[in-house]
Amino acid sequence: HQMRAEWCEATTTVNTFIMNCGADDSKVRNFKGLLVRLISLLHAVALAELEMGRTANMFEGLAHTYDLISPQDLDPTTLNVLANASCRVELVCGWVQHLVMQHVQQGVLTTPA
């Protein structure tokens, strides 16, 4: 529960930097949607690693049966890269960091001066 709470708080914190950003609504919606999907995926791969270890098949065990938020919206190439990765948690964390930085550059995320 602690891990889920930490990621929920991080996601909420990132979303607060969207308020009053002035970016196009569709960009904001796309960012929020992808962020939530990636955090959902991050939680699932972390649980799978805790359950079965780093080298386990990500599609085995109980963690694979947990619901993800809109996994069908992630492209097949991304899911294939994830399935073949040895450090899935770190990979998804990197994707989240890249997403945040990309949207800082696009003006979707702003930080107070």
What pTM, to 2 d.p., does this model score? 0.81
Mean pLDDT of 21-33: 87
DSSP state letters, 45-59: HHHHHHHH-TTS-TT
> Which pLDDT value is given to residue 12?
84
Q: Which residue has the higher pLDDT, 63 or 15?
A: 15
Residue 100: pLDDT band with limits 50, 70, 90: very high
Cβ atoms within 10 Å of 109's Cβ, excluding its own: 22
φ, ψ (nearest 5 deg) of residue 22: 80, 5
Q: Looking at the predicted structure, is the pLDDT value of residue 91 above 90?
A: yes
Mean pLDDT of the chain: 83
Polymer length in residues for the chain: 113
Distance (Å, rounded) from C-alpha 40 to C-alpha 34?
10
CA distances from 16 to 11, 12, 23, 37 (A): 9, 6, 14, 17
